[in-house]
C-alpha cells in the first residue's frame, strides 16, 4: 500500500510539474503573442494611414483643380459685368447729349452691347466636389485594398 501511495504522490508531482511547465510556457507565449499582435496591428494602422494620406491628397488635388476653374470663371464674369456697367454708364451719359449725337453713336453701341451682353454661362456640372467618390463606399474600398496585405497564417 505504501508503494501505491508513493506512486500516486509521484503522479501528482508529475502532473503538478506539467501544469507548472504549461503555465510558464503560456506566460512566455503570451508575451510573444502580444508583441506579434501589436506588430500586425501596426501594419494595419500603417496601411490605413497611407490610404488616408492618399485619399486626402486626391481630395486636395481635386479642390485645387476645381478652385482654379472657378477662379477663372469668376474673373471672366467680373470682367464682363464691368464691361456691361461701363456701357450702361456710357449710355446714360450719351442720353444727356443731343439726339443727333446719340443716334450716331447708337449703331456702334448696339454692336458693342450685343458682344458684351451675352447671357452668363450656366454653371457646368461637376464643379462641386464629388462627395460620393470620397465617402460613398470608403470602408468597402479600403477593405478591398486591405485584402492584398492580409496573409493567412
Q: Does residue 6 lie within any of the structural domains? A: yes
Question: How confident is the model at residue 61, as a pLDDT?
Answer: 97
Q: Does residue 151 lie within any of the structural domains? A: no
Question: How confident is the model at residue 43, as a pLDDT?
Answer: 92
- How many domains would you assign to the chain? 1
Instruction: With a cut of 70, list the residues of the chain below it in pLDDT.
Output: 99-118, 153
pTM over 0.75: no
Contact 142, 48 (CB under 8 A): yes
Question: How confident is the model at residue 103, as a pLDDT?
Answer: 66
Longest CA pairwise span in the chain (Å): 144
Q: Does residue 94 lie within any of the structural domains? A: yes
Question: How confident is the model at residue 49, as a pLDDT?
Answer: 97
Q: Does residue 82 lie within any of the structural domains? A: yes
Q: Does residue 153 lie within any of the structural domains? A: no
Question: How confident is the model at residue 124, as a pLDDT?
Answer: 80
Cell of 107: 449703331
Contact 47, 143 (CB under 8 A): no
Q: Does residue 115 lie within any of the structural domains? A: yes
Site of grid cell 500586425 = 40
Task: Return the beta strands (E) in the chain as ranges.
Answer: none
Q: Does residue 152 lie within any of the structural domains? A: no
Q: Does residue 50 lie within any of the structural domains? A: yes
Structural domain of 24: 2-146
Amino acid at each position: 500500500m505504501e508503494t501505491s501511495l508513493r506512486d500516486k504522490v509521484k503522479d501528482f508531482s508529475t502532473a503538478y510539474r506539467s501544469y507548472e511547465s504549461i503555465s510558464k510556457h503560456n506566460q512566455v507565449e503570451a508575451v510573444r503573442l502580444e508583441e506579434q499582435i501589436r506588430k500586425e496591428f501596426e501594419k494595419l494602422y500603417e496601411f490605413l494611414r497611407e490610404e488616408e494620406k492618399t485619399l486626402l491628397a486626391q481630395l486636395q488635388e481635386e479642390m485645387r483643380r476645381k478652385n482654379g476653374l472657378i477662379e477663372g470663371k469668376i474673373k471672366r464674369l467680373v470682367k464682363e459685368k464691368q464691361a456691361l456697367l461701363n456701357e450702361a454708364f456710357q449710355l446714360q451719359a450719351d442720353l444727356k447729349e443731343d439726339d443727333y449725337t446719340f443716334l450716331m453713336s447708337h449703331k456702334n453701341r448696339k454692336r458693342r452691347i450685343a458682344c458684351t451682353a451675352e447671357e452668363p454661362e450656366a454653371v457646368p456640372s461637376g464643379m462641386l466636389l464629388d462627395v460620393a467618390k470620397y465617402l460613398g463606399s470608403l470602408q468597402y474600398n479600403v477593405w478591398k485594398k486591405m485584402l492584398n496585405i492580409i496573409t493567412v497564417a
